[in-house]
Amino acid sequence: MLTFLNSNQYVIDIQPTAHSRINEVDFNQLTFGKIFTDHMFECDYENGVWTNPTIKPYGPLTIYPGTKVLHYGQAVFEGMKAFKDADGSIFLFRPEENFKRINQSSERLAIPHFPKDLFFEAIEKLLHLDQGWVHQGQGHAMYIRPFVFASETGVSAAAATAYKFMVIMSPVTAYYSEKLKVLIAEKYSRAADGGVGYAKAAGNYAAQFYPTNLARAKGFHQVIWTDAQNHEFLEEAGTMNVFFRIQDTLITAPTSDRILDGVTRKSIIDLAHAQGIDVSIRKFSVTELIAAHQSGDVKEIFGSGTAATVSAISGFSYQENFYNIEDQDDSYAHLFKELLQDIQYNRSDDEFGWRHQVL
């Protein structure tokens, strides 16, 4: 057994696996988020403190049927990525942002904050142990999933007193391999004012599955959510923020308590400013979008997210009409994807200080 003492005096109990599964994995045939690395991190919240931080072989949890998360959905998560450069060094992309956001999400769900030192220590130790699973090459990354859930048993609808914080990791390639067709929401809503839309709360995703399945059945990849009151303003997609290029101006919705403040979104805004591209962060309505399409001003629409990176949208549907978007020679989606990936894979200068070297 190895132990590791971090600056906050937490001792991570490290129990390495005796049987790595890495040789069973075909890294050229990965389905996003299906395969997990050899190890996972687990830490309990009991009696008001985080305790028993442990890294152990990836495996099943034993929980009682009365565990609160199964009944009340008190759970939040994060999604972040690590990249390996051509020399074999491993970098996280803006992990501070994910750390801050998981605690913001936790706060909204009445879950206790997790300590920063332990968050970083857990992820870095996991990456050290499972470094062979981080594949080199364009498109390859390690998707890292920290999450917290109510582990107390009891079917009484109140915040739990016990939680489990965990980190699991999955080697991935691109989330979407094709351009996306999206449906603009006219009936269902993802989030409401004063709700939990800005949090990465598990229930936000559960609530999207049904309307997204309806959209899928009509041949669309994703729904673009609109404001819950009037379905008038374009907000975000299932796991992506959305950008509209109208002529050469990039428009994206302002973040609010309904919209996830995406790390990729804010990175693209900074990159656009650095490129001298005009960015307008404002409410953008479906009516405006359709008018701009009719006048030929909609040059591009794309989504941004950790899993999806930058995903171009080939068209959208609204009130049963489909609006096609032609390919652009000077695509902003392509430009931002390249700029982001050059930073992530350590191929360009890190002028914003976004790379966090782990190994």
Q: Which residues bind ligand PLP (CB under 6 A)?
A: 79, 236, 239-241, 260, 262-265, 304-306
Nearer to ligand PLP, 37 or 264 (CB): 264
Structure tokens that stand for 199 in this block:
């949090």
116 in Cβ contact with 109 (< 8 Å): no
**Residue with Cβ nearer ligand PLP (160 or 340):** 340
Q: Which is nearer to ligand PLP, 151 or 344 (CB)?
A: 344
Least distance between ligand PLP and beta carbon 129 (Å)? 24
Rg of the chain on CA atoms, in Å: 21
Residue 13: other Cβ atoms inside 10 A: 14
Nearest approach, Cβ of 11 to ligand PLP (angstroms)? 31
Q: For the purposes of burial, counting CB atoms within 10 Å of the CB of 25, is it exposed (0-12), middle (13-18) or buried (19 or more)?
A: middle
- Cα dihedral 215, 220, 223, 224 sign: negative
Is the Cα torsion angle 156, 160, 163, 168 positive or negative in sign?
positive
Q: Which is nearer to ligand PLP, 265 or 355 (CB)?
A: 265
Rounded least distance, CB 216 to ligand PLP, Å: 17
> Min. distance of Cβ 233 from ligand PLP in angstroms?
15
Find the shortest distance in angstroms from Cβ 212 to ligand PLP. Answer: 12
Contact in structure between 156 and 72 (CB atoms under 8 Å): no
> Which residue's Cβ lies closest to ligand PLP?
262
Complex with ligand PLP: residue 53 or 211, whichever CB lies closer:
211
136 CB neighbour count, 10 Å cutoff:
14
Nearer to ligand PLP, 27 or 205 (CB): 205
Least distance CB 111 / ligand PLP (angstroms)? 18
Closest approach, Cβ 291 to ligand PLP, in A, equals 26
Neighbours of 64 (CB within 10 A): 10
- Which CB sits closer to ligand PLP, 95 or 305? 305
Closer by beta carbon to ligand PLP, 255 or else 317: 255
Q: What is the dihedral of CA 237, 291, 257, 215, to 10 degrees?
A: -30
The dihedral over CA atoms of 237, 84, 94, 351, expressed in degrees to the nearest 10, equals: -110
SS3 46: strand
| Beta pairing, strands 49-57 & 90-93 | unpaired
Q: Pairing mode, if any, of strands 49-57 and 39-46?
A: antiparallel
Least distance (Å) between residue 89 CB and ligand PLP: 23
The least distance separating ligand PLP from the CB of residue 275, rounded to whole angstroms, comes to: 19
| Helix H or strand E encompassing 266 | helix 263-274
Which residue lies nearer to ligand PLP by CB, 67 or 103?
A: 103
